[in-house]
Structure 1
Amino acid sequence: MGTGETVVSFPLPMPFRPSAFLSATLLASSVAGCTPPAVADPFDDTGELIALSGGDAGAALACHTCHGVNGMGDGALVPRIAGLDAGYIIRQLGFYADGQRSHAQMSWSAGRLDLDERAAVAAYYAKMPTVLPPDVSSLGGQCAPPAIAALYQLGSAERGLTSCASCHGEDGSGVGAGNPPLVGQPAPYLAKQLRDWREGKRYGDALGVMHAAATRLSEDEINPLADYIARDPGHSGRPRFPEECR
């Protein structure tokens, strides 16, 4: 080197060690993969838990507080939901949530459930057995007036009244998944629903069949018809046709 020259030195590179590089890469990957999975809400797991806890709607509005642990209602204005078709229950929950059926508690509860939760609750109640009381009629097993029984079984052609039996069955057990069974529903509840259909307070029936039928009923016919519908032939001797009562 000549006098006055600047000497520049460079650090020697560290030897490349593949094993150390691989270890560091694997460590970073393992740390990134250690994020714990999201913990599912235990009250969303089953329809039973939602029914008993109320889910996001709260325990005070849990299904069982009104419909009972067995899903059979209160015998008055709360219907039985045990044994109903799951699709039918889901549809009714949707109607409550979007206002086609109006009920303060049901609208709030249904609105707090998402579709999966509604499906879980519906499946839970659909599998429940229907346990009918010895006599669900205020008539105590007596025969209904023939004219009322005929309205249910035959309707009235001159009044343009479709028979109840054509959709709900001669014995009230329902025809198809979309037409619910009526046997075992409390007579007061059925009477209120008929009035709600008639007065346009309830919607959601296919082609407006229930609204049309209810508007053709007189006020004097609603309570006796509801009582007739509520009775079950296996428990209260309800006749399949009025001849049995004559």
Structure 2
Amino acid sequence: MGLPALRSGSSAIPAACLALAAAGCTPEPVPKPFAQTGELVALSGGDAGPRGACHTCHGMSGEGDGNLTPRIAGLDPGYIARQLIFYADGLRQHEQMSWIARQLTDEQRSHVSDYYAGMEPAPLERAPSVRLACEPGAEALYLQGDPERGLEACATCHGRDGGDAQAGSPSLAGQPAPYVAAQLRAWRSGERYGDPQNVMLAAAQAMAEEEINPLADYIARTGDGSDRPGFPAECPSPRRRDPRSGA
């Protein structure tokens, strides 16, 4: 049985025609605008929304805050992407970062990692270091490690000046001392893990608690010309190391 003929002047359109018309003009899916570039993810937060925008904590140039928020500009893109996955999967704990990482798509994580990796790290203003004269052991730990304790030299993976890191390892030059110290303690306690071959876990657990702050201070001042030693008069009286305070 055929379709009924349309009456002259009638606006009635058979349902079959409507279906055919709709099938022929279905629009292509519109891509999410904030998934297209790393810059847009950094500024908008991508799927995490405005409260997940990277620049609100890490700065417009990825420079960090000089305290507990790290510099992410110039880091290895694979390292950044891997940390976002760790946050999303719970291997690395931070309330805000874990929430943000879970909202982002794989594409957004990749784009924003490439975006910050391509940034030139901005120099930070720092006062001259006093601890390098007072704690010469920090420089030795960074450059040489301590084979007797199985403690690998930081420079092996992160470079002598903290900026020439191996692929997949973060550059350390200019990272804030409080952030570095907090991460060393997280590695040492086992709260942070997931590095290849557990190199960081083993190194941090071989360190003594009193070595962490001086080493973090040394790391924070590598590669920026501010590692000038202080005057001996500014150094506190030396204390004998307690042999019970090892790893």
TM-score, length of structure 1 as denominator length: 0.80
Matched, 1:205 2:198: no
Structure 1 match to 2:51 = 60
Provide the rounded CA distance (Å) in 1 between the counterparts of 2:22 and 2:210.
75
Provide the rounded CA distance (Å) in 2 between the counterparts of 1:222 and 1:138.
19
Provide the rounded CA distance (Å) in 1 between the counterparts of 2:114 and 2:165.
19
Report the alpha carbon displacement of residue 152 of structure 1 after superposing the two structures with TM.
0.8
- 1:55-204 matched pairs, under 5 angstroms: 55-135=46-126, 139=129, 143=133, 145-204=135-194
The superposition leaves residues 51-95 of structure 1 with CA deviations (integer Å, 9 ceiling, x where unpaired) of: 111122221121111101111111000001111111111101000
Deviates more, 1:211-220 or 1:126-135: 126-135
2:40 alignment partner, one of 43, 49, 56: 49
Specify the SS of the correspondent of 1:80: coil
Provide the rounded CA distance (Å) in 2 between the counterparts of 1:165 and 1:206.
16
Provide the rounded CA distance (Å) in 1 between the counterparts of 2:50 and 2:133.
42
Provide the rounded CA distance (Å) in 1 between the counterparts of 2:114 and 2:187.
27
Inter-CA distance 103–234: structure 2 relative to 1 (3 Å threshold): closer
Q: Which amino acid aligns with 2:112?
A: V
Q: Which amino acid aligns with 1:94?
A: I
Specify the SS of the correspondent of 2:83: helix
Unaligned runs of 5+ in 2: 1-18, 230-247
CA RMSD for the aligned pairs? 2.1
Inter-CA distance 115–233: structure 2 relative to 1 (3 Å threshold): closer
Contact in 2 for aligned 1:183/1:232 (Cα 8 Å) = yes
The superposition leaves residues 173-203 of structure 1 with CA deviations (integer Å, 9 ceiling, x where unpaired) of: 1432111110011000000000000001111
Provide the rounded CA distance (Å) in 2 between the counterparts of 1:172 and 1:142.
16
Report the alpha carbon displacement of residue 238 of structure 1 after superposing the two structures with TM.
5.7
Report the alpha carbon displacement of residue 29 of structure 1 after superposing the two structures with TM.
7.4
Inter-CA distance 138–56: structure 2 relative to 1 (3 Å threshold): farther
Unaligned runs of 5+ in 1: 1-27, 240-246
Contact in 2 for aligned 1:82/1:127 (Cα 8 Å) = yes
The superposition leaves residues 8-48 of structure 1 with CA deviations (integer Å, 9 ceiling, x where unpaired) of: xxxxxxxxxxxxxxxxxxxx977633211111221112111
Q: Which has the larger radius of gyration?
A: 1
Inter-CA distance 141–147: structure 2 relative to 1 (3 Å threshold): closer
Matched, 1:221 2:211: yes
Provide the rounded CA distance (Å) in 1 between the counterparts of 2:220 and 2:65.
14
